[in-house]
Amino acid sequence: MPAAESLLHDPAMRPRRFVAGGPLRGTIKVPGDKSISHRAVMFGALAVGETRVTGLLEGEDVMATADAMRAMGATIRRDDNGTWYINGVGVGGLLQPDRALEMGNSGTSTRLLMGLIASHGITATFTGDASLSKRPMGRVIDPLAQMGTAFTATPGPNGSQTLPLMIRGAAPAVPITYRLPVASAQVKSAILLAGLNTPGVTTVIEPIPTRDHSERMLTGFGADLTVEEQDGERVIRIRGEAELKPQTIEVPGDPSSAAFFIVAALIVPGSDLVIENVGLNPTRAGLVEVLRAMGGRIEEINPRIVGGEPVADLRVCHSPLHGITVDPAVAPSMIDEFPVLFVAAALAEGRTVTAGLDELRVKESDRLAVMATALSSIGVAVEEREDGLVIHGSGGARLPGGTGTAVATHLDHRIAMSMAVAGLASDAGVEVDDTRPIATSFPNFEALLDGLAQ
């Protein structure tokens, strides 16, 4: 898959055309789970003593989290074997940063760190790249402000609050009970992290369950945290002024990164691929179940528990797929995987209908609009609705591909990787306008793909 010649004038952009090759065969490992990596760094930086982490995702987003924790007093280093050592400052011990916290493209870093700082008596300024600076922060600001934290944000479109943003933590903060108005693991986690240094009990009520890495890992670090089911809702309580204990953490492979290779193996004829050490937390495994419902052959090998998280090796074989109506209730367990699911749907027999995906409009890009435009440009029949897409599949036939303008990725790593996968099942290939954003979550994506698709 040779890189395309640039059709763009910005010399910093890295366009590339992804084209069909042979079947995907062999065994690969994907990078460590991004959500778990962020939390391992943050919680290790709040523990007293040395936390050791293996398998940490070394993408730009997680490195932004590490840099921020260093700026607030933690010592973080990596040895030559890839093990990370984090010496923390203790809950309540964060230091005043002497510079703005640069978040790059990482919404997770920004929102979770806002929660951490919210109950510490320090002031910090958050900055980010052009994409992150457009993303709304109000859903995190609202509950943290109820705890006593003060914010000065940049006004955005439609009354939104965006970066650059200054936060002045409350010491002491006030515990709250907060029912999430939308399903968001980032908002939930931000409140729980603020609760770590808040006297009393902070409570979050989830009408719809979201990924639970924060609850699992905080419990592992020794936080006094409970989860109960009440009237069909999850009620999470954390007792503040916690003392976290250092841990040894093995980060499983990121299911959101594995998703691109799962779909690629399903849609490229002759493929038989094993993806090792994939995290299968039930709050993250929605894509696997949806693809199985579409006819995908995905086998779990050697299922096991690693660091409190369910893990397995996945064997994925090329499969004829058929369209389905995706239950909106599954959306929180695969919210980041919908762009590549849309690609799988484009190769399926019949129609795939998705709904309840309003959250995708406020990700790194408006992923519904961007994917609808991108897929249409390579010959896929797509209907864009307010909260989802309807995709009419090719029945397994290769997609026409793109022969004109490169697909606009809008600085969104998941758009770039999803359209790269689409190129593997196209006649003319698919050119994406910029592969640089891929490094935020999956630095070796292209190298892995090149090694398989010969």
Q: What is the 3-state secondary structure (H, E, C) of 415-442?
A: HHHHHHHHHCCECCCEEECCCHHHHHCC
Tell me whether residue 107 is annotated as binding. Answer: yes
Tell me whether residue 363 is annotated as binding. Answer: yes
Chain centroid, CA 99 distance in Å: 26
Phi/psi for 389 (5° steps) reads -120, 150
Q: Judge contact between 428 and 400, C-beta under 8 A.
A: yes
Say what the pLDDT of residue 4 is: 32
Q: Judge contact between 189 and 214, C-beta under 8 A.
A: yes
Instruction: Burial-class residue 247 by CB neighbours within 10 Å (0-12, 13-18, 19+).
Output: buried
Say what the pLDDT of residue 1 is: 34
> Catalytic amino acids?
336
∠ Cα 175 177 183 (to 5°): 125
CA-based nearest residue to 375, from 411, 410, 344 = 344
Q: How far is CA 388 from CA 131, 208, 328, 350, 366, in A?
A: 22, 18, 10, 17, 11
Cα 285 to Cα 386: distance, rounded to the nearest angstrom: 25
Question: Looking at the DSSP assignment, which residues form a beta bridge with residue 125?
Answer: 166
Number of H helices, E strands in the chain: 12, 21
Q: Judge contact between 136 and 114, C-beta under 8 A.
A: no
Tell me whether residue 135 is annotated as binding. Answer: yes
Q: Judge contact between 313 and 274, C-beta under 8 A.
A: yes
Say what the pLDDT of residue 203 is: 98
Q: For the chain, first and last CA: distance in Å?
A: 8
Amino acid at 23: P
Alpha-helical (H) ranges within 133-254 are 138-146, 185-195, 213-220
Tell me whether residue 336 is annotated as binding. Answer: yes
Sheet strands (E) in 111-168: 123-127, 150-155, 161-168
User: Taking each helix axis from N to C terminus, what angle separates 138-146 and 185-195, rounded to the nearest 10 degrees?
Assistant: 30
Tell me whether residue 414 is annotated as binding. Answer: yes
Q: Judge contact between 114 and 190, C-beta under 8 A.
A: yes
Tell me whether residue 35 is annotated as binding. Answer: yes
Structure tokens of 174? 């006030």
Chain centroid, CA 409 distance in Å: 16
Helix (H, G, I), strand (E, B) or coil at 128: coil
Cα 391 to Cα 385: distance, rounded to the nearest angstrom: 11
Sheet holding 75-78, edge to edge: 75-78, 84-87, 50-54, 248-250
User: What's the whole-model pTM score?
Assistant: 0.87
Work out whether strand 201-206 and strand 388-392 pair parallel, antiparallel, or are unpaired.
unpaired
Kindly list the structural domains of the chain, giving each domain's residue range(s) and its CATH number in brackets, ordered by start: 16-31+252-452 (3.65.10.10), 34-247 (3.65.10.10)
Say what the pLDDT of residue 362 is: 83
Tell me whether residue 367 is annotated as binding. Answer: yes
Sheet strands (E) in 309-429: 309-317, 351-353, 381-385, 388-392
Structure tokens of 448? 């892995």
Amino acid at 357: L
Tell me whether residue 134 is annotated as binding. Answer: no
Mean pLDDT by 10 residues, the chain (454 residues): 38 92 96 95 98 96 97 98 98 97 96 98 96 94 98 95 98 97 94 98 95 94 97 97 96 96 98 97 95 98 89 98 96 94 98 95 91 97 97 98 92 96 98 95 95 77
Say what the pLDDT of residue 3 is: 32
Amino acid at 341: L
CA-based nearest residue to 124, from 150, 146, 106 = 150
Say what the pLDDT of residue 12 is: 86
Q: Judge contact between 31 and 442, C-beta under 8 A.
A: yes
